Amino acid sequence: MEPDGRIRQKSSFSGNGPDNNECLEITAGPDGLGLRETAEPDRVLTTGTAALAGLLRAVKAGRLPP
């Protein structure tokens, strides 16, 4: 649990690197969804659910360039 009371959830695809920090974490709050990489916990990307869902759909459909 974070100091602000939020609970972060790790991706089920999290890696097990040498520092066990190769993963993406997500949390929900009043300001949207917070995404961060465990290796850089102070850097958080905040987005809305619709924007994240659109990105995931585009990735799954192969609509983004490599």
Q: Render pLDDT for 27-40 as a digit per residue (tens, 0 to 9).
A: 888 888 988 887 88
Evaluate whether residue 27 is within a structural domain: yes
pTM above 0.75, yes or no: no
Q: Are 2 and 8 in contact (CB under 8 A)?
A: yes
Range of the domain at 31: 9-60
From 24, 26, 32, select the one nearest 7 (Cα to Cα): 26
As for how many domains the chain has, the answer is: 1
Evaluate whether residue 65 is within a structural domain: no
Evaluate whether residue 49 is within a structural domain: yes
Q: Render pLDDT for 2-60 as a digit per residue (tens, 0 to 9).
A: 666 677 767 666 666 666 556 888 888 888 898 888 788 889 899 999 999 998 899 99
Evaluate whether residue 26 is within a structural domain: yes
Evaluate whether residue 4 is within a structural domain: no
Evaluate whether residue 3 is within a structural domain: no
